[in-house]
């Protein structure tokens, strides 16, 4: 599928941090914005090949779906529900991988591991970091940077 073709090179990263070095891709852009921009550029290339609004659709799905996934993670953390935390964090991690939100994906991985190991120490602080990063990703995506690619 188109999505598999676009995200194939990120598949390995989907399972957690991999000592990856991120370079700035444009003057003044931080690692998060640069990575998102690179992934979106790949998606734009596929979109152009197929004549569909793939990037707009993916961004819309991410921005619409992620608040529900965030709430599921919050509820799992509050309830110390390891299975729900592992499942919810894993689901959001996949969405983050597709859109190129590496830092957010890495935090989801931390939460997923906490759930799989039933270790809730620090989970509230980790979730707080996820909320902060999600706010930044929302801002980055709402600027629709792929329109300039």
Give the Å distances, CA to CA, from 53 to 27, 42, 56: 27, 13, 5
Which residue in 99, 71, 124 sits closest to 110, CA to CA?
A: 124
Round to whole Å and give the CA distance between 1 and 7.
Answer: 10
Cα separation of 46 and 52, whole Å?
9
For residue range 86-125, list pLDDT tens digits in order: 999 999 999 999 888 999 999 999 999 999 999 999 999 9
Chain segment 21-44, per-residue pLDDT in tens: 333 333 444 555 667 777 777 766
How many other CB atoms sit within 10 Å of the CB of residue 94? 14
Task: For residue 20, give both structure tokens.
Answer: 């990856």
Can you give the pTM of this predicted structure? 0.70
């Amino acid at each position: 599928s188109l999505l598999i073709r676009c995200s194939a090179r990120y598949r390995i990263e989907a399972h957690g941090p991999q000592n990856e070095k991120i370079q700035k891709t444009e003057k003044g852009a931080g690692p998060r914005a640069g990575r998102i921009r690179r992934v979106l550029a790949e998606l734009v290339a596929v979109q152009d090949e197929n004549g569909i609004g793939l990037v707009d659709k993916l961004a819309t799905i991410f921005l619409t779906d992620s608040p529900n996934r965030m709430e599921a993670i919050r509820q799992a953390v509050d309830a110390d529900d390891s299975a729900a935390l592992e499942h919810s964090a894993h689901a959001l991690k996949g969405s983050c991988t597709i859109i190129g939100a590496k830092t957010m994906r890495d935090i989801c991985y931390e939460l997923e591991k906490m759930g799989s190991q039933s270790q809730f120490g620090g989970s509230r602080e980790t979730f707080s970091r996820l909320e902060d990063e999600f706010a930044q990703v929302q801002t980055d995506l709402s600027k629709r940077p792929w329109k300039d690619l």
